Structure 1
């Protein structure tokens, strides 16, 4: 008897959770990803800002499933799906047949029609993004140390983060601490404490998804770290020489994008309806309207909640969707009643501001300050994969907290800032 073939595209939180949930179903599972590792994306900014090493937040996908003979891992990129023949088409030219397809392909950066900004203002979605940003941040200080002109030195010591969601807030706070505390004793010609870190947000406040009081606290905590917060004005231009906010030009050599995302082209592959951000519109069971055997989850999917708002594109949501789809598939295979429609349970919003403060919004319960920072850290350690990773990250954070020193400050490539741009 031929086994039921399940193809899962994407080794992020949603895809991995789906595969975990299908254990013991007697099916033939193929997991496809264009990278060989599963990434704990909430801590990606810590790699970019020299707090953690890449190996502490990423794990080889094959290692995750070495004891699962039902799972085959393919390192390749999906370019299309033939929904009639039920084939997933890969960049290598190969085709993978499926009976059930789960698309968990995530999202990429969105520059609101200004794609030329991408090289000048990289975002943060992959390990490659993180190491690129880490290199640019560290090189900015190195080049400032050697700059002869005051104007050049000031521009090199100016960092602009565009977008004041959790990633932008966390990046801004950590770069400020890096300049104010970590690097200050190590340079001779420059005073790194004069570094200017700007957090730029087109909306009216930082951390718009949080309650207003926590947003106000976060902005105040950032400003205490020396971050200049600019809200209510969008970035209108980015060049190699700086950024323009509204009509004001600011000389700046390092720009980081944290303002928007665009879903992967999964909807185009399967001919499904999508929203303005490219997210595939799915039904209550997370399948597309014209094919119940194709599920779309995570950042790739538009899932409407009871209040009419979409499920947020965060890790807990993707994991819940992965678990749900696995239950739906198992019920179908066993010819049992399908689970009730998917319902997202919000577990809270968390964001950290440097190494001493954080904000947590659990709805009725709201926390801020040092206690919130400890809870934020424990929550992230808990969700890491494997004892080794938990111990490594916990030790790195403890070392940073006690010594004030970041442990991953290596520049691993020789490109200059101009070459990178």
Structure 2
């Protein structure tokens, strides 16, 4: 507290960590400002269902202002944070119109999350989009649906085969869930919608550099997932890594050597890298980031030498916790409680303790794996457990009921995907943007993420 001014808390990022920190500060004697590059909180575990046309974005991405409207000590700002000045306790950002913003803080919570990691090949972003934002999911959806439309138009069997080849790189939960949805679209949902092309002829490949799908899961669940995906028509390539890409193919290296796969649709689900703000923090406290770009924090989630600065979620390294939703949620709640206790005069801080609530992944309709509290289930039971937990963590009863209704309509009663709308312009963009981006990136070998982002912004 400085004079009569209320304690100022700035939270950078409205994801799982940031939002839970803000909500945990509801009773604190403080003014809380959350700054994010989007105006919504995104429930990322269901983002792949937006890409598959099952759910509309609004059900999993409520507006931050709507979420916080009843919390009178908080406000939300749409801005891009580009500097964290720890020495002067300032957050510098830029508004959508370019205007500079300076936010002074007494306590700072940085929950900037993570982005895609192409392992030193950022130019691949133009050819294999990842999925971290609503715009990413829309882009992937447009890729998938445009591929089927182009296959319907193609008269050359070779070209048609390329449009009907889908490659998902990375067999973690996101990759497994995505490839399962592509398989269901091709084999169950779309066959009766097309006349000139048999969508069941789609070739769907899942590439994984490790020796099993879902590497973090129990071996029994990994084996079950592998069998289930193969039953759905997915070709699984283990010990296989992408080594090159262009606008029409991906070259992989596996046990049998190198192979070039002709595929017009490639989706990246292989790795993530912490927000650049993690490195910015690390430089100011004279420490290093790990291989994933994460900054190490103290057991109470503070930065070394800066007890007023907290960092949580995917951008921090703490107890070797995975970069998934649960650590971010629990860390955000913990930090909010710590700041509230400090303002009440209680300086006794217990170190953060993570409670592992298990792991889950859905392979397709009525098929999922779940490992929670020592109980491992698959199939229907796993699917029901997965659905219950994910609906429970959605924000707002309207979104929960809307999601249940949409699932019932899309998966149970109609076997359809009601949110697979694209336009001629969007299909044209998908057909041409990778070629243009590749032509721009190739001469200079510069990262292509900007090109892909520009395409998304142009659509937006």
* Bin for the TM-score computed over the shorter chain: over 0.9
For 1:336 and 1:16, the matched residues in 2 are separated by 23
Cα-to-partner distance string for 1:320-364 (whole Å, 9 max, x where unaligned): 000110111112111214331111111010000111210011252
Cα-to-partner distance string for 1:96-131 (whole Å, 9 max, x where unaligned): 100100000000000000000001000000000000
For 1:34 and 1:117, the matched residues in 2 are separated by 24
Of residues 58, 65, 80, the one that matches 1:55 is 58
For 1:17 and 1:149, the matched residues in 2 are separated by 53
Number of the residue aligned with 1:133: 140
User: Does 2:224 align with 1:209?
Assistant: no
Asked if 1 retains the 8 angstrom alpha-carbon contact of 2:279 and 2:294, the reply is no
Number of the residue aligned with 2:171: 164
The farther-off stretch of 252-261 and 68-77 is 68-77
User: Does 2:194 align with 1:187?
Assistant: yes
Of residues 83, 96, 108, the one that matches 2:115 is 108
SS in 1 for 2:100: coil
User: Does 2:308 align with 1:293?
Assistant: yes
State the shift of 1:89 in Å: 0.6
For 2:222 and 2:140, the matched residues in 1 are separated by 26
Number of the residue aligned with 1:315: 325
Q: What is the correspondence of 1:145-160 to structure 2 with a 5 Å cutoff? A: 145-160=152-167
Cα-to-partner distance string for 1:244-287 (whole Å, 9 max, x where unaligned): 11111110000000000010012333324321211110010000
User: Does 2:89 align with 1:86?
Assistant: yes
Asked if 2 retains the 8 angstrom alpha-carbon contact of 1:15 and 1:104, the reply is yes
Asked if 1 retains the 8 angstrom alpha-carbon contact of 2:130 and 2:269, the reply is yes
For 1:134 and 1:276, the matched residues in 2 are separated by 30
For 2:421 and 2:75, the matched residues in 1 are separated by 35
Cα-to-partner distance string for 1:121-168 (whole Å, 9 max, x where unaligned): 000000000001101100000001001110100000000000000000
- Runs of 4 or more, structure 1, over 4 Å off, are none
The farther-off stretch of 408-417 and 397-406 is 408-417
Work out the number of aligned pairs and report it.
416
User: Does 2:443 align with 1:401?
Assistant: no
Asked if 2 retains the 8 angstrom alpha-carbon contact of 1:327 and 1:339, the reply is no
Number of the residue aligned with 1:262: 273
For 1:14 and 1:378, the matched residues in 2 are separated by 21
Asked if 1 retains the 8 angstrom alpha-carbon contact of 2:334 and 2:352, the reply is yes
Of residues 411, 415, 430, the one that matches 1:417 is 430
Number of the residue aligned with 1:368: 378
Asked if 2 retains the 8 angstrom alpha-carbon contact of 1:105 and 1:300, the reply is yes
Specify every segment of 5 or more residues in structure 1 that has no aligned partner in the other structure, as ranges. 305-309
User: Does 2:234 align with 1:250?
Assistant: no
For 1:206 and 1:389, the matched residues in 2 are separated by 31
User: Does 2:352 align with 1:342?
Assistant: yes
Of residues 378, 384, 401, the one that matches 1:391 is 401
State the shift of 1:416 in Å: 3.6
With the length of structure 1 as denominator, give the TM-score of the two structures.
Answer: 0.97
State the shift of 1:237 in Å: 1.0
Asked if 2 retains the 8 angstrom alpha-carbon contact of 1:302 and 1:311, the reply is yes
For 1:72 and 1:330, the matched residues in 2 are separated by 17
User: Does 2:396 align with 1:381?
Assistant: no
With the length of structure 2 as denominator, give the TM-score of the two structures.
Answer: 0.89
User: Does 2:238 align with 1:225?
Assistant: no
For 1:341 and 1:291, the matched residues in 2 are separated by 16
For 1:265 and 1:242, the matched residues in 2 are separated by 30
State the shift of 1:241 in Å: 1.4
Number of the residue aligned with 2:444: none
Q: CA RMSD in A?
A: 1.1
Asked if 1 retains the 8 angstrom alpha-carbon contact of 2:14 and 2:34, the reply is yes
For 1:16 and 1:416, the matched residues in 2 are separated by 34
For 2:157 and 2:340, the matched residues in 1 are separated by 65
SS in 2 for 1:350: strand
Higher helix fraction: Structure 1 or Structure 2? 2
For 2:175 and 2:27, the matched residues in 1 are separated by 41
Number of the residue aligned with 1:324: 334
User: Does 2:59 align with 1:44?
Assistant: no
The farther-off stretch of 48-57 and 332-341 is 332-341
